Amino acid sequence: MSNEKISVTENGLADAFTEWDRRFRNEPKRFMSEAERLLKDTPYSYGRVCAPYLISILKEQGAA
């Protein structure tokens, strides 16, 4: 995990979580298999594994 610093507004963060939820609802099996793979391959907590994914969504949306 990097120590990359990002700056995001509350609205940008809310939009990223909305996108996260949309992806989960549209493809729950794919989403869960990806999450399970990430957790299996690392001793870190769920948050440490998911943070880079959330940051990638923020960047895709131009929010970070």
DSSP code for 61: T
pLDDT at residue 46, rounded to an integer: 74
The residue ranking higher by pLDDT, 27 or 63, is: 27
CB 8 within 8 A of CB 58: yes
Q: Which amino acid is at 32?
A: M
**Which residues span the domain enclosing 53?**
30-64
Let me know if residue 55 belongs to a domain: yes
Residue 24 in domain = no
In a domain, 14, yes or no: no
User: Is 45's pLDDT higher than 60?
Assistant: yes
Q: What is the pTM of this model?
A: 0.67
Q: Please check whether residue 13 lies inside any domain of the structure.
A: no
- Is 19 a member of any domain? no
DSSP labels for 26-60? H-HHHHHHHHHHHHHT-SS-HHHHHHHHHHHHHHH
6 within a domain of the structure (yes/no):
no
* Over residues 35-39, mean pLDDT: 68
Task: Say what the pLDDT of residue 35 is.
Answer: 66
Which is nearest to 19 in space by CA: 62, 49, 54, 52? 54
Tally of domains within the chain: 1
